[in-house]
Structure 1
Amino acid sequence: MQLTIFGASGGIGRHLVDQALAAGHDVTAVVRDPARLPGTAARVVTADLAAADRTALRAALDGADAVLSGLGPRSRADAGVASRGTRAITEAMAGSGVGRIVVVSAAPVGVVPSPGRPNPPRYDEGDGPLMRFVLGPAIRRVLRHHYADLALMEEELRDGGLDWTVVRPPRLTDGPLTGRYRTAYGRNIRGGLTVSRADVAHLMLALLDRPDSVRQTVGVAR
């Protein structure tokens, strides 16, 4: 399969590139700074999604069967990168005829409002009491700008015509690839507080071959 990976130099993106190459896929890695992805066997395309470089995006999508995105802010200075970047990607996909995209979001986002979804559910049905009443509200308060950006990203995917899948992990770790994680469609994982970036990448690649995951959110955790 020919895959285009955005955010390829990030924590999840690097695992996506390495695992996709190891599985025999033809990979195009899209990065803002190629120096952050040294020594890769992937084809590297330089593009700044904040500037919506249409020529570079079209080149990155040429011949692609599917898109994977690990976009997300590394700091407050990157606020809005997920929604803006995903908007640029989906617009370029529409013009290139590429229809499949799998993106990473975050477990708390299901209860975060967005302009088109101002009254989301109060609780995620997969969350237990500790997450509903203690950890969840505290995390959303501290990272409210980050989650608002991801909620807007998800909204734009829902409103578009692509075959999207959104993966919602809890706290990410730098642990190894294990392949031993739990998943659920449309909800978070009860008692699932962490998952490794490597395992999230593993799931995102696996979902490309699951038609039942199209236009679904997928919770994942250890």
Structure 2
Amino acid sequence: MSAPEGTDMKLTVFGATGGIGRQLLAQAAAAGHEVTAVARDPRRLPPGVRAVAADLAAPDAAVLRDAIAGADAVLSAVGPSSRATAGITEPATRAIVGAMADAGVRRIVVVSAAPVGTVPSPGNPHPPKHDPGDGPLMRYVVGPLIKAALRDHYADLARMEDVLRGSGLDWTAVRPPKLTDKPLTGTYRTELDRNVRGGALASRANVAACMLASLERPETVGRAVGVAD
């Protein structure tokens, strides 16, 4: 279920020290939401944020449950910060989903990526060859190159989406294309279950805004949301 429009929410943010995570914290606080930020190193979080120290590479179920308990929703911007942490998204999301079940929290919005809809996974072994939102250049030139270069990363995200689909939770996977550090504009395009036609870039700030907006869009539950500037 989504929160009623305009309602202040209690939110738990994972991946809070990354580029999108920092934007989630700032925008959620500006909107008046009560935020708990989960990070491996809380010292990297801005002052004034309720912080919980947790290492998702070796998750403590009780710590995660306590961080989530009482929240209206969970936002996850978890992703690898280096080659050493490649492949972390699927097991981290599995731990988050388990903690949500224990805490009785149902709503989760996560960051995925635009190519993931065409990446095979154990739960989706035969995805479409092309995303319906992609134009010819993305389908036949840019997309194959990107997927080849980041094959392991996208496979991890595809398995993460498997976890969401099997969770029984009210999930949304936000799928941006190439990320930038341009400032928040609040002007971005979205599509349900497909990429945005001609959408090659998305600012981390606008992706965070889309994630927060999805909490108040019931039609995004159980769906992927393509987003682009």
TM-score category of the 2 structures, normalised to the smaller one:
over 0.9
* Of 23, 29, 45, the match for 2:31: 23
Amino acid at match of 1:18: A
* Rounded Cα–Cα distance in structure 2 between residues aligned with 1:61 and 1:38: 19
Q: Which residue is 2:6 aligned to?
A: none
Contact persistence 2:182–2:205 (CA under 8 A): yes
Q: Match of 1:67?
A: 74
1:38 Cα deviation after fit? 3.6
Letter in 1 for 2:154: Y
Query: What residue is the counterpart of 1:106 in the other structure?
Result: 113
Match for 1:93 among 81, 87, 100?
Answer: 100
1:149 — aligned with what? 156
Report the CA distance between 1:50 and its aligned residue: 1.5
Deviations 1:37-61 (A, max 9, x none): 142x220000011212112112201
Match of 2:127 among 96, 120, 125: 120
Deviations 1:151-198 (A, max 9, x none): 000011011100000000000000000011100001001110001000
CA contact (8 A) 2:69 2:104 kept: no
The match for 2:18 is 10
Which residue of structure 2 lines up, in the alignment, with residue 167 of structure 1?
A: 174
What one-letter code is carried by the residue in structure 1 that aligns with 2:96? I
Matched, 1:34 2:38: no
- Structure 2 CA distance, aligned partners of 1:80 and 1:91? 18
- Runs of 5+ unmatched residues, structure 1: none
Letter of the 1:25 partner, please give it: H
Q: Tell me the distance in 2 between the aligned counterparts of 1:43 and 1:197.
A: 22
Show the counterpart of 1:132: 139
TM-score, length of structure 2 as denominator length: 0.95
- The one of 186, 192, 205 equivalent to 1:185 is 192
Partner of 1:49: helix, strand, or coil? coil
Query: What SS does the aligned partner of 1:130 have?
Result: helix
Quote the Cα distance in structure 2 between the aligned partners of 1:2 and 1:145.
Answer: 34
Q: Following TM superposition, by how much is the alpha carbon of 1:35 offset from its aligned partner in structure 2, in angstroms?
A: 2.0
- Aligned CA-pair RMSD: 0.8
**Which blocks of at least 5 consecutive residues in structure 2 are unaligned?**
1-8
Identity %: 66
Distance 2:148 2:169 in 1: 31
1:36 shift after superposition: 1.7
TM-score for the superposition, normalised by structure 1: 0.98
Rounded to whole Å, the distance in 1 between the matches of 2:212 and 2:46 is 22
Equivalent pairs, count: 221
Asked whether the 8 Å contact 2:191–2:227 carries over to 1, the reply is: yes
Runs (4+) of structure 1 moved beyond 6 Å?
none
Amino acid across the alignment from 1:105: S
CA distance in 1, matches of 2:83, 2:143: 20
Q: Distance in 1 between matches of 2:204 and 2:46?
A: 19
The answer (yes or no) to whether the contact 2:121–2:155 under 8 Å persists in 1 is yes
